Amino acid sequence: EPEVTQTPSHQVTQMGQEVILRCVPISNHLYFYWYRQILGQKVEFLVSFYNNEISEKSEIFDDQFSVERPDGSNFTLKIRSTKLEDSAMYFCASSEGGQGRIYGYTFGSGTRLTVV
């Protein structure tokens, strides 16, 4: 079964530091996403990415956030200057069709980011 792989599984960082969360989507998927889940809260959409550009982003995804697909396999989320409130589980997802309309989305296991 193809998987979305996320690294690292857990990252601790100092407030103000930059972090890069990495994801390897499923190889034949064309749409990529980042979501986050603050402990005990709902999963929240951050950004979707298609054809090497952002297709939609939420209010959470401000100038501190950026995404990149630096090569044919990786999809990264960068947080430029982390804040305490960025502590959350970050999930990468990919889908074969837009809006996950074909088979839904495949999520990675998440990166737990702790900002101290």
| Position among 35, 67, 75, 86 found at the interface with another protein (CB under 8 A) | 35
Q: 34, 26, 29, 33: which is closest to 113 by C-alpha?
A: 34
* Angle made by CA atoms 64, 48, 62, in degrees to the nearest 5: 20
Could you say which residues in the range 77-96 bind another protein, by CB under 8 A? 89, 91, 93
Contact window for another protein (CB under 8 A) among 13-21, 30-38, 68-76, 77-85:
30-38
Contact window for another protein (CB under 8 A) among 16-24, 33-41, 71-79, 80-88:
33-41
Token digits of residue 8: 């690292």
Taking the complex as a whole, the smallest distance from the CB of residue 107 to another protein amounts, in Å, to: 4
65 sits near another protein (criterion: CB under 8 A): no
SS (H, E, C) 47-64: EEEECCEEEEECCCCCCC
Categorise residue 110: left if φ over 0, alpha if ψ from -120 to 50, beta otherwise: left
55 sits near another protein (criterion: CB under 8 A): yes
Contact window for another protein (CB under 8 A) among 17-25, 38-46, 69-77, 78-86:
38-46
